[in-house]
């Protein structure tokens, strides 16, 4: 994963990445971010780098540093402040959304943000979508 994140942003993502870095430098990170694009154009890598930048403990911009404890935990897949939700049987179900909401109610383990990453958000079924919006 680290090699992939180091390559991001790809040339076609430069503008979006600069905007993200501006949010970080001004400490005006939105409470929710929707990243969308065609499959195979690096969207997942871009999203992972955004997540890593939020969990990075380094104060300097650009983020992520990929060296601090927060970055290393993220890159190893063991950061306690991120929850990744993936489709089960081609759907994200209401139980998974409830799990995400419960996760967000818990306090952070580190100085960073708490993140819920919905992979393939278009896989949310009707009940899960309603649960997320409530």
Q: CA 49 to CA 66: how far, in whole Å?
A: 10
Q: Is residue 90 domain-shared with residue 122, that is, in the same domain? A: yes
Predicted confidence (pLDDT) at residue 95 exceeds the cutoff of 70: yes
For residue 77, the SS3 value is coil
Q: Is residue 20 domain-shared with residue 36, that is, in the same domain? A: yes
pLDDT at 8: 84
Predicted confidence (pLDDT) at residue 110 exceeds the cutoff of 90: no
The pLDDT tens digits of the residues spanning 27-41 come to: 899 999 999 888 889
pLDDT at 38: 85
- Domain that residue 133 falls in: 80-134
Which of 78, 97, 126 is the last residue before a domain boundary?
Answer: 78
Q: Is residue 68 domain-shared with residue 18, that is, in the same domain? A: yes
Total count of domains within the chain: 2
Interval 2-17 mean pLDDT: 84
Q: Is residue 16 domain-shared with residue 63, that is, in the same domain? A: yes
pLDDT at 63: 87
């Amino acid at each position: 994963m680290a090699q992939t994140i180091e390559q991001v942003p790809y040339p076609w993502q430069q503008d979006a990445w600069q905007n993200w870095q501006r949010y970080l430098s001004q400490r005006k990170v939105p409470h929710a971010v929707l990243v969308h694009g065609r499959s195979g154009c690096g969207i997942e890598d871009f999203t992972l780098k955004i997540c890593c930048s939020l969990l990075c403990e380094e104060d300097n911009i650009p983020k992520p540093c990929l060296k601090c404890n927060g970055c290393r935990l993220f890159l190893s897949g063991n950061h306690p402040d991120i929850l990744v939700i993936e489709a089960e049987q081609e759907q994200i179900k209401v139980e998974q959304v409830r799990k995400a909401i419960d996760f967000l109610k818990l306090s952070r383990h580190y100085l960073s943000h708490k993140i819920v990453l919905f992979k393939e958000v278009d896989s949310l079924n009707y009940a899960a979508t309603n649960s997320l919006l409530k």
